[in-house]
A and B are shown apart, each in its own frame.
Chain A
Amino acid sequence: MGGSVLSIKDLHVEIEGKEILKGVNLEIKGGEIHAIMGPNGTGKSTLSSAIMGHPKYEVTSGSITLDGENVLEMEVDERARAGLFLAMQYPSEISGVTNADFLRSAINSRREEGQEISLMKFIRQMDSKMEFLEMDPNMAQRYLNEGFSGGEKKRNEILQLMMLEPKIAILDEIDSGLDIDALKVVSNGINEMRGSDFGCLIITHYQRLLNYITPDHVHVMMQGKVVKSGGPELAQRLEAEGYDWIKQELGIEDETVGQEA
């Protein structure tokens, strides 16, 4: 069985009437790891939110398909069950709902009634993944993200990724606010997922994460578009030289989009 294909074509997205994405083209296949880099305010997070279906973002034109299915016609939960996953930059806190109950609901949402995961099997899986991510076992019974530190939230996003095993995952600034040890743990989690059935889009503005996860493709976003694509060597050049050379090459003065000066 081959991997899935997430295909984004000429995507235009607005938030509160302001156009942020101005024609993004991208294709992510199972087995591939893509990294989108770029300075702040260039539309990277908007792309991830639009793919998942954040209620504030409106797609005005273009298409997103997963294995040929129109993602834009799906509700958020349908997108997830179709195989998409977004590790969020700012995960919500949900009081009164334990991490374990939430994850079990999420797993069972992918299963038929009567075919729910057994409690024992679930606990075994969750325990082993939490151990892998060096998480405190008590976090299973804590309320979802409530009072979690920044690093705990990021680990918890990766825990969900590992438990839900999506076809295509988008990781929105999963590296922000992580110290070097946590960054290694999170990277291990993502590398553990690597395989022909798993495609990944990593959004970051630091090259640091890519020292631990080697991407197959690197893209640079500016002004709401992908302006440059290449291999891992592109990330290394960005680390060494910054973004100015790209701006010069393309004649861009202000790389941001939709921001007031």
Chain B
Amino acid sequence: MTTETKLPFDQEYITSFSKDMNEPDWLTELRVQALEKADALPMPRPDKTKIDKWNFTQFANLLVKSEAFASLDELPEDVKALVNLEAKDSSLYIQRNNKPAYISVSKELREKGVVFTDIFTAAREHGELLKKYFMTAVKSDEHRLTALHAAFMNGGAFLYVPKNVEITQPVQAIFVHDNAEANVFNHVLVVAEDNSSVVYVENYISTVPQADSQFNIVTEAVAGNNARIQYGAVDTLAKGVTTYVNRRGIAARDARIEWALGMMNDGNTVSENVTNLVGDGSYGDAKTVVVGRGEQVQNFTTNIVHFGKRSEGYILKHGVVKDSATSIFNGIGKIEHGASKSNAEQESRVLMLSEKARGDANPILLIDEDDVTAGHAASVGRVDPLQLYYLMSRGISQAEAERLVIHGFLAPVVNELPIEGVKKQLVEVIERKVK
């Protein structure tokens, strides 16, 4: 059944929006075609969460007026805390709602021929390069939300690392949401060519306490032969923001893609994190930590698909659920026929902190090849009373003991984030959310 929905912006609007942005024709064309298909395409169906009542299609604004930040001093305090203000030569992009609001690109990046810019500038100035990768890992016609994403894309960043370039400093992007009426269709494209390596860290952060917004986020991370992408993200979007976020990676031969995702939104969220291990010897590591609270409903699907021989995929998901929140964790390790000597491992654990909280961990292994190894562990439960007993037997109060266990439980992602401010922020958000 397809529900009849009238999309809020038509072909004419999208075309003129694209022209206003001076986008190349191929992108205008891609937007228009995606919009045409959107209505007919089905909604995605995250396992065990019904999202047909969620509003992903109706919204009033595609663009809100936002000012750029003339300097980092102008940043809101919460955002400032994420940035290393002392660093003189960092690579940092800040977007304010839809507006590219600040950018600095380090000398290292410039000298090595790295492209790091907002998605609109990328389309104007690096159109052919963008075209080669844009919406290739995530296709616009997969379902209605990817189609809407392509049609309505109104923000994002492009990071391109040429062959043999290894970047030592992390590259940072911050997507600030400070207008309760802003709707953000954000596209992040990270390309690491053969033998290159890059660490990218992003924050989605609401500075408004509550909003009536939609975020439709697509990330594509493309790692060439023997390339390495470390992708860190902390999402802290406010209550009232409905989020669809799709972060997908493609790893070529001997490539590594490592995700560290701190999913701390306060609104309803559907997250897909897929890593396609296409090349032989490729490696995917997907770590996700989540806190659900209040009434929010969240669904997190992590999927690592093995096509290449000797490919290795590791999924770790740790979630804490409190109040009346619902969090569903679907972990899928899939080994395709021919991906011999591959290894798919996953661990999903959910801690429930209240009677009304709902958590569900569904580990799935789909294996179409004989000569492989695979394993999974899943659990849903409360804080282990024996762990509490042990900590308390050293004098630590019950509240502090619980805090320690929960922080430890969510530590795997915290420890992976290479930017001190972002790490600290995640720890503080966890603190605030589990309290």
Q: How large is the interface on A (under 10, 10 to 19, 20 to 34, 35 or more residues)?
A: 20 to 34
Q: Which residues of B contact A109 (CB under 8 A)?
A: 394-397, 400
When chains A and B are docked, how far (Å) is the Cα of A88 from the Cα of B391? 12
B389 close to chain A: CB less than 8 A: yes
Write the chain B residue with the least CB distance to A164: B394
Task: State the majority secondary structure of interface residues on B.
Answer: helix
Report how many A-B pairs have Cβ atoms within 8 Å: 81
Q: Contact check, B398 vs A77: say whether CB atoms are below 8 A apart.
A: yes
A91 close to chain B: CB less than 8 A: yes
Query: B404 touches which one: A77, A97, A110 (CB < 8 A)?
Result: A97
Q: Contact check, B394 vs A92: say whether CB atoms are below 8 A apart.
A: no
When chains A and B are docked, how far (Å) is the Cα of A52 from the Cα of B410? 29
Q: Contact check, B396 vs A105: say whether CB atoms are below 8 A apart.
A: yes
Chain B 397-430 interface residues, beta-carbon cutoff 8 Å to A: 397-398, 400-401, 404-405, 407-412
Q: Contact check, B396 vs A77: say whether CB atoms are below 8 A apart.
A: yes
B387 close to chain A: CB less than 8 A: yes
Q: Contact check, B395 vs A81: say whether CB atoms are below 8 A apart.
A: yes
Interface string of A73-103 (1 = CB under 8 A from B): 0011101110001101001101111000111
B73 close to chain A: CB less than 8 A: no
- Number of B positions contacting A (CB below 8 A): 24
Interface string of B32-58 (1 = CB under 8 A from A): 000000000000000000000000000
B386 close to chain A: CB less than 8 A: yes
A143 close to chain B: CB less than 8 A: yes
Query: A164 touches which one: B384, B387, B392, B395 (CB < 8 A)?
Result: B395
When chains A and B are docked, how far (Å) is the Cα of A110 from the Cα of B397? 10
Q: Contact check, B398 vs A86: say whether CB atoms are below 8 A apart.
A: no
Task: Kindly list 17 other residue pairs between chains A and B, CB separation below 8 angstroms, not including A77-B398, A80-B393, A101-B404.
Answer: A75-B398, A76-B393, A77-B395, A80-B396, A85-B393, A91-B390, A92-B391, A94-B404, A95-B409, A97-B411, A102-B394, A103-B394, A105-B404, A106-B396, A109-B400, A143-B408, A164-B395
Provide 22 A-B residue pairs closer than 8 Å at the C-beta atoms, listed in order of the A residue. Answer: A55-B386, A76-B389, A76-B392, A76-B393, A77-B392, A77-B396, A77-B397, A80-B392, A81-B395, A92-B389, A94-B390, A94-B391, A95-B411, A96-B407, A96-B410, A97-B404, A97-B407, A97-B411, A106-B394, A106-B396, A109-B396, A164-B395
Q: Which 3 residue pairs spanning A and B have beta carbons closest together?
A: A96-B408, A96-B411, A80-B395
